[in-house]
Amino acid sequence: MHYGVVLLWATQLIEVQQNHMATMSATAAARKFVENDAQESVSEVNRQPLPEFHTGSESKIGIRNLNLTIGNNHILKDVSVEIPHKKITCIVGPSGCGKSTLLKTLNRLIDNVENVKVEGSIEVDGEDIYGKKVEITHIRKKLGLVSQRPTPLPMSIFDNVSYGCRIHGIRKKKVLAQIVETNLKAVGLWDEVKDRLHSPASALSGGQQQRLCLARGLAIEPKFILGDEATSALDPIASKLIEDLFVGLKENYGVVLVTHTLRQALRIADHVIFMYLGEIIESGPAKELFHNPQHPLTKQYLSGVFS
Ligand SMILES: Nc1ncnc2c1ncn2[C@@H]1O[C@H](COP(=O)(O)OP(=O)(O)O)[C@@H](O)[C@H]1O
Ligand SMILES: [Mg+2]
């Protein structure tokens, strides 16, 4: 089998396993969540910076005339916007307006949806990720996604963090151990788990699992981190930890977050994209958009006329 096919298969396997785990472990996760909650609430984020992998501050995502349909449903309508590197871009808008779909088109997770048709272009560093010769695994390496619910794989903490690297061919134990340590430190989890790296990841609390998933995503050295309501399933303390991590990560990465509350976007966004019924109504620097919205729909959304 061709190497690329193996990688593609393995990446899809992660997604399938993630979905499976999300469903199967809901009850167990809820139980552990309660058990570990107290432990996590006293732990502070002790994040240590990652080495700077990517220097190009000119790096960006450029979306042009993106139209997406699923069957006869026109879900994204002529979306054009630029997303900067080393900033936090928050995508906001009422439920069902296409935020998650837009995020999934960015790392081609949308390919897994039946009857989907994508037109237009999405360039990451000048490379069209929907180009004919592009390998999906190559794209997903550039854009790591953190889902709404933590989705640890059914394996140890160590194996979770090193999973993507092993798929990408890193085998040396010493190298993997270093990657695991660096990335667990980057999400402030090292001190909490260093003595039980080979225990199942499922024993961690919900917040710890979400940080583990973030560490797993960081381990493959993406350029952009995508988060789809990544804090919405967590208690306020765990949620704040993850939020603080995203803020720290923008030193080295582009961070794109679908946020479940406007308050979160107000706290952390550098740039904001406001969507409504599949269209981008307004986008721009957070201060301008929040303090001086131009479009009547943005004004209504910000003032709580609809949510
Ligand atoms: N797999 C799918 N099949 C058909 N319609 C879908 C699918 N996924 C999303 N949609 C539709 O696309 C629209 C946007 O959904 P979504 O991107 O999840 O919105 P948001 O994240 O803003 O709540 C909704 O009308 C939703 O019903
Ligand atoms: Mg959504």
Residue 48 has a pLDDT of: 59
Classify the phi-psi angles of 21: left when phi > 0, otherwise alpha if psi is within -120 to 50, otherwise beta: alpha
- Written as six digits, the tokens of 273 are 């994209």
Q: Which of 268, 233, 228 is nearest to 104 (CA)?
A: 228
Rounded Cα distance, 40 and 241, in Å: 10
Rounded Cα distance, 142 and 12, in Å: 16
Residue 210 CA to ligand 2 centre (angstroms): 17
Please report, rounded to a whole number, the percentage of residues in the chain having pLDDT higher than 90.
Answer: 74
- Written as six digits, the tokens of 121 are 């272009």
| pLDDT 10s digits, 88-102 | 999 999 999 999 999
- Written as six digits, the tokens of 139 are 């794209």
Residue 101 CA to ligand 1 centre (angstroms): 6
| pLDDT 10s digits, 210-263 | 999 999 999 999 999 999 999 999 999 999 999 999 999 999 999 999 997 899
**Ligand 1 pocket mutation, candidates 68, 69, 70, criterion most atoms within 8 A of CB:** 70
Residue 137 has a pLDDT of: 86
- 266: pLDDT strictly greater than 80: yes
| pLDDT 10s digits, 156-195 | 999 999 999 998 889 999 999 999 999 999 999 999 999 9
pLDDT band at 22 (very low <50, low <70, confident <90, very high): very low
Residue 297 has a pLDDT of: 97
The domains found in the chain, sorted by start residue, are 3-55+84-112+132-302 (3.40.50.300)
Q: How many CA atoms lie within 13 A of 30 on its CB side?
A: 4
Q: Which residue has the tokens 């909490």?
A: 192
Q: Which of 189, 166, 188 is nearest to 177 (CA)?
A: 166
- 202: pLDDT strictly greater than 50: yes
Ligand whose nearest atom lies closest to the CA of 114: 1
Residue 259 CA to ligand 2 centre (angstroms): 9
Residue 47 has a pLDDT of: 55
| pLDDT 10s digits, 1-20 | 444 434 444 444 344 334 33
State the average pLDDT for the chain. Answer: 84
Q: Helix, strand or coil for residue 240?
A: helix
What H or E segment, with its residue span, contains residue 270?
Answer: none
| pLDDT 10s digits, 45-93 | 455 555 444 444 467 999 999 999 999 999 999 999 999 999 999 999 9
Residue 162 CA to ligand 1 centre (angstroms): 32
Q: How many CA atoms lie within 13 A of 77 on its CB side?
A: 11
What residues does ligand 1 touch, defined as CB less than 6 Å away?
Answer: 70, 73, 75, 93, 95-101, 113
Nearest atom within ligand 1 for CA of residue 101: 17
Classify the phi-psi angles of 68: left when phi > 0, otherwise alpha if psi is within -120 to 50, otherwise beta: beta
Rounded Cα distance, 248 and 194, in Å: 22
Chain-centre distance for alpha carbon 237: 19
Please report, rounded to a whole number, the percentage of residues in the chain having pLDDT higher than 70.
Answer: 81
Residue located nearest, by CA, to atom 18 of ligand 1: 100
